[in-house]
Structure 1
Amino acid sequence: MTDRVRVLIRWMADHPGQVVLFLAAALSSVWVALNVSVLGEIPPGHFSKDVRREIELDYAVGLLWWLVIAVGLWLLGGGDRNHLLVAWSAKFFIVFVAMLFYEYKYRYNLDAFGYLDAALTGRYHMYSDVNWFQESWVPTLTKTIETGDVSDKLVKTAGTENMVRIVLIISQITGPYYHALKVVYAFLGFVGACFAYRAVVVIMGRPFLPAFYGLMLYPSILFWSSILGKDPVFLLFIGLYAYGGALWLVRSSLIGRAS
């Protein structure tokens, strides 16, 4: 038995909790990989055209984008990189495991699949007569498209239009892959939570890791800031607003980095 094997066995004996977590993660990954073709299936009725999707490829592209962002956090995270990677790993579990069950249960009425339809076909169900590939993709503060009658339940707003535009812009970078789009939106929510934490640091005058993990791992924030939808965008701008407000209140300036 080599020295490396002995060291590994000794480490496993000294860290049983981490070994159990690793095995659980490995088994969960295998199970998800075997079942992703079922859990990741989106009913055809969500798409305006006959769309053929390779679910395994879609999932793999999403994993690649998660890894690209993880590498970026490692390279650019400085002294906070370990904490950032822990939080980003939590996003991994939500986006690639937990959310599959949520999407499967509510697969017939999720807004996220409507946004995917826009990325794939240029159509969005609330604007059935509009080809979004031919519309302006520049976000606007006022509603620009009037089409048909507006029902009481489906109110067409500038926010909805801008969401479609943002999805189309991002899909030009990631490709029209559902899990890749989810990863990018999860990253927007992640950045928003980071800015909210920086606001806490500015106000307290020092780093406070319980606040960081409280924001990053709070179940509602962690889950809803990872969907393909408006929530991550909301959190991004709420975080920016909180950070700017903290800088202004504490330093009377909107420029600065929390130390």
Structure 2
Amino acid sequence: MDVVRKLLSVAAIALVPATVTVCYLLFGDYAALAFQMRDMEWDFLSGVITALLGVALIQVLPLADERHRQILAMLWLARIAVTLGLMLFYEGYYVVLDAQGYYYNGLRLSDPWALFEYGMGTENITALVGLLSGLTRSYSALKVIFAFIGLLGIYITYLAAARAFGREIPGLLIALGLMPSILFWSSILGKEPVTSFGIALICWGAVGYFTGRGWSALLALAIGLVIAASIRSWLAAIFIAPIIATIFLGGRVSPAVKGVTMLAAVPVFLLTVQRFAEHFAIDSAQQLIQQTNQLAKGFATGGSAQKIETQFTSLLDMILFVPKGMFAALFRPLPGEIMNPFGILAGLENAAVLALLVKGMLRQPLRAVLRQPVLLWAVLTVMAWGAFYGFASYANLGTAFRFRQMIMPVLLPLVLFLAYGPVLSRQR
């Protein structure tokens, strides 16, 4: 593994500057035109300088293990190649991007703090850009800062996974950091890097909670829920519900901590559900059905869209659709369903994850899942997320790939544990 890391480090050091330079020469003008940048050279140079500061910051970060520093530096170089290199094609090709609104609206804010509001993701990201503009007004530099937030999220997720496995697995950190969906979408200037960071804290807190860390895990869990739900309010319910279910089904936690957790989690869950209902103007089952139909119709646009065959007329229709939607949210597009560069890459990634899941299901009996609280929590979390996002993901497979970046840090370690758990972990 040390030899592999060294070879990857050498390759990254050699390829990153070349990739960034070539992409800038090929696509820099198109990106500048799309973002209406008058001085692309200054903006891009600021991004390069910020990226180099990120390399220096990795060298002084307090890490759980010094061996992680080299891997993080390598993963950061890969992110630089994507953020300052390959992403220029994406920014130049797609004329209208959310990042444009976050950037220009953020720069115009005189009081960014006034815009912050719980659960309002667009406003909160815009406000965050406004705050960061006090450091730099360069789009490229701000994008690099968001990419670094995403990298920190990956590292925290790895620490949670390593604790679940019971040992250090450097290859898992590399896999998480280089997974195409994670690498790209958690490097953009947008909601995904911040959401990923919040979900990483949730994962670390949940794994720590079910493996005996107690109060420190609860604190990390609470902070992660606040961050993630500040961007998408319904995420709190999606991640709290599996924790409550796992506690009921046998989490090995002290009665005092378990009692406090339940007292805090149940009201937060109910408040989140209420907030979700208010956000989407839902006050009856019929309105829930109508809003779901509108949501599916709204996402069914663009080259990767597909129409849901039937309209939902009852809650039973929605429940019967959940397995199909969940599969789309977690594993589609499959190879051949979208024939563009993004679709081909997504299909290969999804096929690999699906193959690992099938292998794991054949190797791990159901009783093994029920005996391990962390594994049970991960399974329930993935299912809860897939059930919720299935309605939007089925309607647009391109959107499905982007959304999946949120749950992939849970899904990938889960399928690896199911497929190779006895080999990768030690008896806890």
TM-score (norm. length: structure 1): 0.72
Is the Cα–Cα contact under 8 Å of residues 62 and 183 in structure 1 kept in the other structure? Answer: yes
Letter in 2 for 1:82: Q
Give 1:219's aligned residue.
Answer: 180
Distance in structure 2 (CA, Å) of the matches to 1:39 and 1:82:
34
Query: Residue 238 and residue 41 in structure 1: after superposition, are their counterparts in 2 closer, same or farther (change >3 A)?
Result: same
Query: Residue 22 and residue 214 in structure 1: after superposition, are their counterparts in 2 closer, same or farther (change >3 A)?
Result: closer
1:70 aligns with 2:55: yes
Kindly state the Cα deviation for residue 228 of structure 1 after the two structures are TM-superposed.
0.5
Query: Residue 80 and residue 16 in structure 1: after superposition, are their counterparts in 2 closer, same or farther (change >3 A)?
Result: closer
Within-5 A mapping of 1:158-197: 158-173=120-135, 175-197=136-158
Give 1:240's aligned residue.
Answer: 201
Greater displacement, 35-44 / 76-85: 35-44
**1:165-186 deviation digits (Å, cap 9, x = unpaired):** 111111112x111011100110
Query: Residue 17 and residue 109 in structure 1: after superposition, are their counterparts in 2 closer, same or farther (change >3 A)?
Result: closer
1:100 aligns with 2:88: yes
1:89 aligns with 2:77: yes
Distance in structure 2 (CA, Å) of the matches to 1:160 and 1:116:
11
Letter in 2 for 1:207: E
1:110 aligns with 2:97: yes
Query: Residue 119 and residue 203 in structure 1: after superposition, are their counterparts in 2 closer, same or farther (change >3 A)?
Result: same
Distance in structure 2 (CA, Å) of the matches to 1:202 and 1:63:
35
Give 2:392's aligned residue.
Answer: none
Is the Cα–Cα contact under 8 Å of residues 150 and 186 in structure 2 kept in the other structure? Answer: yes
**1:228-258 deviation digits (Å, cap 9, x = unpaired):** 000111100000100011111102424379x
RMSD: 2.8
Distance in structure 1 (CA, Å) of the matches to 2:160 and 2:139:
32
Give 1:12's aligned residue.
Answer: none
- The one of 22, 36, 39 equivalent to 1:54 is 39
Query: Residue 19 and residue 176 in structure 1: after superposition, are their counterparts in 2 closer, same or farther (change >3 A)?
Result: closer
**1:27-46 deviation digits (Å, cap 9, x = unpaired):** 444433434641331446x7
Letter in 2 for 1:190: L
Give 2:344's aligned residue.
Answer: none
Is the Cα–Cα contact under 8 Å of residues 58 and 179 in structure 1 kept in the other structure? Answer: yes
Query: Residue 234 and residue 134 in structure 1: after superposition, are their counterparts in 2 closer, same or farther (change >3 A)?
Result: closer
1:80 aligns with 2:68: yes
2:32 partner SS: coil
Distance in structure 1 (CA, Å) of the matches to 2:193 and 2:127:
15
Is the Cα–Cα contact under 8 Å of residues 137 and 168 in structure 1 kept in the other structure? Answer: no
**1:85-127 deviation digits (Å, cap 9, x = unpaired):** 0111110111011100000100x2101011111233x1xxxxx
Kindly state the Cα deviation for residue 18 of structure 1 after the two structures are TM-superposed.
9.0
Give 1:139's aligned residue.
Answer: 116
Kindly state the Cα deviation for residue 201 of structure 1 after the two structures are TM-superposed.
1.2
**1:148-206 deviation digits (Å, cap 9, x = unpaired):** xxxxxxxxxx2211111111111112x11101110011011111111111111111221
Distance in structure 2 (CA, Å) of the matches to 1:181 and 1:237:
19
Is the Cα–Cα contact under 8 Å of residues 55 and 76 in structure 2 kept in the other structure? Answer: yes
2:144 partner SS: helix
Is the Cα–Cα contact under 8 Å of residues 160 and 208 in structure 2 kept in the other structure? Answer: yes
Kindly state the Cα deviation for residue 139 of structure 1 after the two structures are TM-superposed.
2.9
Distance in structure 1 (CA, Å) of the matches to 2:111 and 2:125:
16
Query: Residue 239 and residue 19 in structure 1: after superposition, are their counterparts in 2 closer, same or farther (change >3 A)?
Result: closer
Query: Residue 28 and residue 184 in structure 1: after superposition, are their counterparts in 2 closer, same or farther (change >3 A)?
Result: closer
Letter in 2 for 1:118: N
Q: Which runs of 5+ in 2 are unaligned?
A: 1-5, 221-428
Letter in 2 for 1:233: V
Letter in 1 for 2:203: A
Paired residues, number: 210
Greater displacement, 201-210 / 237-246: 201-210
- % identical equivalent positions: 30
Distance in structure 2 (CA, Å) of the matches to 1:84 and 1:16:
15
Letter in 1 for 2:174: Y
